[in-house]
């Protein structure tokens, strides 16, 4: 299989909607028989198209409903500062996502905590301990309009290997 076909894309689309589908249910939804669908899923897993299966949790119910995007500027652009920051961020559980970005800031963090005072504690006692940070800007989320976890897929997409 050199590239993904329409059936592979359909399988990925269905698994993004519900990763708990059995092979039989998945095969029914993509109009194929279970054995080839099972083989295709194994191929997609083995070749990294499917990285992992997760459960999407309710942040509000778990007292992590306060969401903040935090723009970070490093003190100095250097490999050492970048590594210090990366190592520190990987160890901080409140940071759900971290992206290296272009523009006025170098990094964008998505942070989830219980409430404002917990975010203040996070900034002072966790981010404040990272010597590589020069400045930061917090953007507080008032409400989530759209939150999609999947990758938009169409039959016209030609994924790379």
pLDDT digit string, tens, across residues 29-64: 999 999 999 999 999 999 999 999 999 999 999 999
Residue 123 dihedral angles phi and psi, to the nearest 5°:
-65, -45
Bridge partners of residue 109, in order along the sequence: 70, 98
pTM: predicted TM-score of the whole model, two decimal places: 0.84
Asked if 130 and 80 touch (Cβ cutoff 8 Å), the reply is: no
pLDDT of residue 82: 87
How does pLDDT run across 30-39, given as a tens digit for each residue? 999 999 999 9
* Residue 23 backbone phi and psi in degrees, to 5: -60, -40
Is 22 a residue whose pLDDT tops 60?
Answer: yes
DSSP state of 47: T
pLDDT, the chain, mean? 93
The confidence band for 2, taking pLDDT boundaries of 50, 70 and 90, is low
- Tell me what the mean pLDDT of segment 103-109 comes to: 95
Pick from 117, 75, 68: which is nearest to 97 by CA? Answer: 68
What is the structure's pLDDT at 1? 43
pLDDT tens per residue across span 119-161: 999 999 999 999 889 999 999 999 999 998 889 987 666 555 5
pLDDT, residue 3, reads: 84
């Amino acid at each position: 299989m050199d590239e993904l076909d329409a059936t592979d894309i359909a399988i990925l689309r269905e698994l993004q909607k519900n990763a708990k589908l059995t092979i039989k249910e998945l095969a029914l939804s993509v109009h194929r028989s279970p054995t080839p669908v099972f083989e295709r899923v194994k191929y997609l897993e083995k070749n990294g198209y499917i990285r992992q299966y997760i459960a999407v949790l309710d942040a509000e119910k778990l007292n992590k409903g306060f969401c903040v995007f935090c723009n970070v500027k490093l003190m100095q652009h250097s490999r050492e500062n970048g590594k210090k920051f990366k190592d520190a961020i990987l160890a901080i559980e409140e940071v759900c996502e971290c992206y290296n970005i272009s523009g006025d800031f170098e990094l964008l963090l998505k942070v989830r905590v219980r409430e404002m005072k917990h975010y203040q504690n996070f900034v002072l006692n966790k981010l404040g301990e990272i010597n590589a940070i020069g400045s930061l800007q917090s953007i507080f989320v008032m409400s989530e309009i759209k939150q999609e976890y999947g990758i938009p897929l169409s039959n016209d997409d030609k994924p790379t290997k």
